[in-house]
């Protein structure tokens, strides 16, 4: 199966938040409490019930304004810190490139959030984030965010095609004088499944310029990968096992309560 990607053309994003709400609608996520702090950006952060949101950044540019908006969600990185660090292998990569969390296996330890250069996963009874709408993809439907997008700021397809479209768009923008226009996500973290077309540098959009998986996650990966199975088993019976057991009990309790 070909790798799939979302192409987010921030130069076509108008900040209508159709994507943000469509994500909640499709994934049956309740609203979170927010407050107005002087920006149109809300929710202000990811949350176990907020898997994608529109970022707003405004800059004065001479007598003009650059008001940048872009949809922000899991990047489904090839070099995925969350997947590497997950102590119970609850995070897996799907054939289409998507990085998924199996909430049934997750122990809600939060290591994935710390290991994510974009700080995407959020923890309640388990870790939650964008699923790349795997359930929709299985029905040949685009992810909810892309389906809703009015202007083509979010499109979805084979990663190679999305990358080619992004590069063509950037070159067209540069021809029109937007010399800072650039593609983001092509090589970052060995390739993201979210490709951005940006009019300006990534930090202007609230994206890390050179995202890296944190050193500790690499250590974990380096140390554990060759003996992954052993390590898992070792962990299960080793020094950390008591913590996991405790944590597991907590999680069970939360889940039981949630079911009541």
Partner 1 sequence: MKVSRRNFLWLSGAVVAGSLAAKLGCAPEEPVVEPDPDEPTPEPSIEDDFRLEFASTVSNVCSFCGVGCGVLCYVEDGKIVSVEGDPDHPVSEGALCSKGAAMFQKYYEYDEKGNAIVSPQRVTEVLYRAPGASDWEVKDWDWAIQEIARRIKDTRDADFKETNDAGQTVNRCESLAWIGSAKCNNEENYLYRKFVAAMGIVNNDHCARL
Partner 2 sequence: MTNHWIDYQHSDVIMNIGGNTVENHPISMKWIQKALDNGGKLVVVDPRFTRTAAVADLYAPIRPGTNTAFFNGLINYAIQNNLYHEEYIKTYTNATMLINPAFGYSDGLFTGAVDDPGRGPGQKGYQTDTWTYQRDADGNILRDETLEDPNCVWQLFKNHYARYDVETVSNITGCPQDKFVEVAEMFCSTGAPDKAGNISYAMGLTQFTHGSQNVRCAAILQLVLGNIGISGGGVNAQRGQVNVQGACDMGQLFHIVTGYMPMPRDGQDWAAYDAATPPGGYWTNRPKFMAAMLKAFYGDNATADNDFRFDYLPRLDKDRSSVAYYTYMAKGEIKGLLCFADNPVVSGASTAKKRKAQANLDWLVVADLYENETCAFWKAPDMNPADVDTEVFLLPAAAHFEKEGTATNSGRWIQWRNPAQEPTGDSKPDLWIVDKLFKAVRGLYEAEGGTFAEPILQMHWDYGDEPDVVEVCKEINGYFVADGSLISGFGDMTNNELGDVAAGSWIYAGFYQDEDNPNCKRRIKETEGIGSNLEYSFAWPANRRIVYNRASSDAEGNPWNPARPVIWWEGGEWKRNDVPDFNASVPPEDTAGKGFIMTPELTSRLFAPGMVDGPFTEHYEPWESVTTSKLTGDIEFNPICTVWYPEDRGDSADYPYIATTYRVVEHYQTAIETRNMPWLVEAMPEMFCEISPSLAAKIGVENGDMVEVETKRSTIQCKVAVTPRVKPLIIHGEEKEIVGMPFHWGFMGLSSGASANDLSPTIGCANTTIPEFKSFICNIRRAG
Which of 62, 177, 237, 242 is in the footprint of partner 1 by CB under 8 A? 237
Q: Which does 104 bind (CB under 5 to 8 A by kind): partner 2, partner 1, none?
A: partner 1
Q: Which does 233 bind (CB under 5 to 8 A by kind): partner 1, partner 2, none?
A: partner 1
User: Cβ(54)–Cβ(72) under 8 Å?
Assistant: yes
* Bridge partners for 123 per DSSP: 127
Interface with partner 1 (CB under 8 A), residue total 51
Instruction: Collect all residues with Cβ–Cβ distance below 8 Å to 23 and sequence separation of at least 6.
Output: 29, 51, 52, 73, 130, 144, 145
CB of 128 to partner 2, least distance (A): 16
> In angstroms, rounded to a whole number, what is the distance separating the alpha carbons of residues 29 and 170?
35
Which of 45, 58, 119, 135 is in the footprint of partner 1 by CB under 8 A? 135
> In angstroms, rounded to a whole number, what is the distance separating the alpha carbons of residues 163 and 181?
14
Which of these segments, 25-33, 170-178, 181-189, 204-212, binds partner 1 (CB under 8 A)?
25-33
> In angstroms, rounded to a whole number, what is the distance separating the alpha carbons of residues 9 and 70?
8
CB of 159 to partner 1, least distance (A): 13
Token output for 227: 């003996």
> In angstroms, rounded to a whole number, what is the distance separating the alpha carbons of residues 127 and 121?
6
CB of 147 to partner 1, least distance (A): 6
User: Cβ(81)–Cβ(116) under 8 Å?
Assistant: yes
Q: Which does 252 bind (CB under 5 to 8 A by kind): partner 2, partner 1, none?
A: partner 1
CB of 22 to partner 1, least distance (A): 4
**Phi (first) and psi of residue 144, to 5 degrees:** -55, -40
Footprint of partner 2 on this chain (CB under 8 A)?
A: 11-18, 20-21, 24-25, 30-40, 42-43, 58, 60, 63-65, 67-69, 150-152
* Bridge partners for 6 per DSSP: 156, 194
Quote the radius of gyration of the chain (alpha carbons, Å).
Answer: 19
Q: Is 62 in the site for partner 1 (CB under 8 A)?
A: no
* Bridge partners for 198 per DSSP: 182
> In angstroms, rounded to a whole number, what is the distance separating the alpha carbons of residues 172 and 174?
5
CB of 32 to partner 2, least distance (A): 6
Nearer to partner 2, 60 or 257 (CB): 60
Q: Which residues sit at the interface with partner 1, rule CB under 8 A?
A: 1, 16-18, 20-22, 24-26, 28-31, 78, 92-95, 100, 102, 104-105, 131, 134-136, 138-139, 144, 147-151, 225-230, 232-233, 236-237, 248, 252, 255-256, 258-259
């Amino acid at each position: 199966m070909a790798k799939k990607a979302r192409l987010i053309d921030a130069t076509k994003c108008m900040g209508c938040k159709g994507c943000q709400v469509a994500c909640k609608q499709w994934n049956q996520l309740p609203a979170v409490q927010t407050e107005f702090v002087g920006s149109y950006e809300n929710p202000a952060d990811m949350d176990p019930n907020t898997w994608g949101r529109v970022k707003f950044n405004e800059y004065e540019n001479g007598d003009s304004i650059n008001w940048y908006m872009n949809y922000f969600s899991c990047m489904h990185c090839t070099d995925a810190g969350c997947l590497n660090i997950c102590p119970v292998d609850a995070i897996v990569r799907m054939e289409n490139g998507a990085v998924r969390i199996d909430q049934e296996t997750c122990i809600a330890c939060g290591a994935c959030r710390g290991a994510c250069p974009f700080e995407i996963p959020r923890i309640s009874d388990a870790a939650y984030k964008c699923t790349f709408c795997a359930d929709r993809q299985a029905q040949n439907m685009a992810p909810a965010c892309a389906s809703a997008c009015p202007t083509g700021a979010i499109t979805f397809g084979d990663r190679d095609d999305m990358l080619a479209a992004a590069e063509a768009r950037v070159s067209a923008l540069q021809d029109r004088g937007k010399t800072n226009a650039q593609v983001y996500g092509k090589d970052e973290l060995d390739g993201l499944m979210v490709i951005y077309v940006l009019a300006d540098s990534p930090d202007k959009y609230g994206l890390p310029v050179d995202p890296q998986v944190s050193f500790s996650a690499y250590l974990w990966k380096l140390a554990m990968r060759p003996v992954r199975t052993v390590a898992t088993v070792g962990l299960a019976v080793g020094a950390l096992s008591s913590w996991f057991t405790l944590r597991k009990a907590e999680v069970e309790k939360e889940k039981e309560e949630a079911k009541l």
